[in-house]
Amino acid sequence: MKLGVIGSPIEHSKSPEIHTNFANQFDLDLVFEKYLVGKDECLEWVKSFFESGGLGLSVTLPLKEVVLEIADDISLRAKQAAAANMLFLKDGKIFADCTDGLGLVTDLKTKEIDIFNKKILILGAGGAAKGIVPSLLNGNPKQVIVANRTPEKAIELVAQIQELGGSQLKSSILMPSSLTLDNLENTSFDLVINATSASTLADQNLEVDSSIFKGAAAALDLYYSQTDTLFMQMAKEQSVAKVYDGWGMLVEQAAESFSQWTGFKPDTSGLLESRGA
């Protein structure tokens, strides 16, 4: 069974270890490799991968939006997110899905972080944010605010999701704002999520004020890290009770992808416990 993960950069990816753990649970013969693939070569590379016997691919930054162009069929949640984090060759056709949102929501439930009727702030309006917003909205929060360094991108993301979601997504629930905290100074949130790329950079700079954590019960960085990111440090300094990186989400979204590729639903508890989730 030939599987892999594509992206740029890719050396940090833990996907091979995660999926090997899953495969061992069912004694499956699986080969899972990391592939450094850039935007310009992405579509031809993916086509060649499946033509050479590949079954499925995990997709990471910056390719989550690009791969939609090669898909023959796109799931509803990938359409809503306008991004895909997995590809699957099914009946000779390439199927694209986005399991990020489901992975996040499952992880939040495991951590006993309730989002029902809660106020959520999401930092960033790129592919990572697109992948999680629809699933968060399905949890019926009170309000979701998407804040971005360039407000126009946040406005565009919100408009896209509202258009796909129909009348059920009222503007009072899903709203754009600015990463510079315009209109946020006097607002408190129950959950703050970092979906920016800042934590992936050596020179981390969130360009936000620590006041965003005032009153928050939980903070989660979508980036998984062995050490606290700047975002996590800021949250802990503001005495946020529950502060996590993205390991749990990574494991849970991988489990959903693995289930679609193989038909087997893996147990994630061992991997989660290994990181203290």
Q: Is 64 among the residues known to form the active site? A: yes
Q: Are strands 174-178 and 191-194 parallel, antiparallel or unpaired?
A: unpaired
- Selecting among 34, 64, 118, 119, the annotated active-site residue is 64
Residue 53, pLDDT score:
95
185-235 pLDDT, tens digit per residue, is 667 899 999 998 776 665 667 778 888 999 999 999 998 887 899 999 999
Say how far residue 162 (Cα) sits from the centre of its chain: 19
pLDDT (0 to 100) of residue 199: 63
Q: Looking at 26-141, list the stretches that DSSP marks H as alpha helix, in order from N- to C-terminal side.
A: 42-51, 76-81, 100-110, 127-138
Q: CB-hemisphere CA count at 13 Å for 172?
A: 2
* pLDDT more than 70, % of the chain: 91
CB-neighbour burial class of residue 86 (10 A; exposed 0-12, middle 13-18, buried 19+): buried
pTM score above 0.85: yes
Q: Taking residues 87-91, what's their average pLDDT?
A: 94
Peptide bond into 151 cis (omega under 30): no
Annotation: CATH topology of 101-248:
Rossmann fold (3.40.50)
Give kind and range of the element (H or E) at residue 200.
none
Least confident range from 44-48, 108-112, 165-169, 264-268: namely 165-169
Do 2-98 and 101-248 show the same overall fold? Answer: yes
Q: Which fold has domain 2-98?
A: Rossmann fold (3.40.50)
pLDDT tier at 175 (50, 70, 90 boundaries)? confident
Quote the radius of gyration of the chain (alpha carbons, Å).
Answer: 18
pLDDT at residue 157, rounded to an integer: 86
Task: Give the pLDDT band of residue 178 (cuts 50, 70, 90).
Answer: confident
Domain boundaries, the chain: 2-98, 101-248
pLDDT digits (tens, 9 = 90+) for 57-74: 999 988 998 999 999 999
Asked whether residue 167 carries a pLDDT value surpassing 60, the answer given is: no
Say if residue 169's pLDDT is above 70.
no
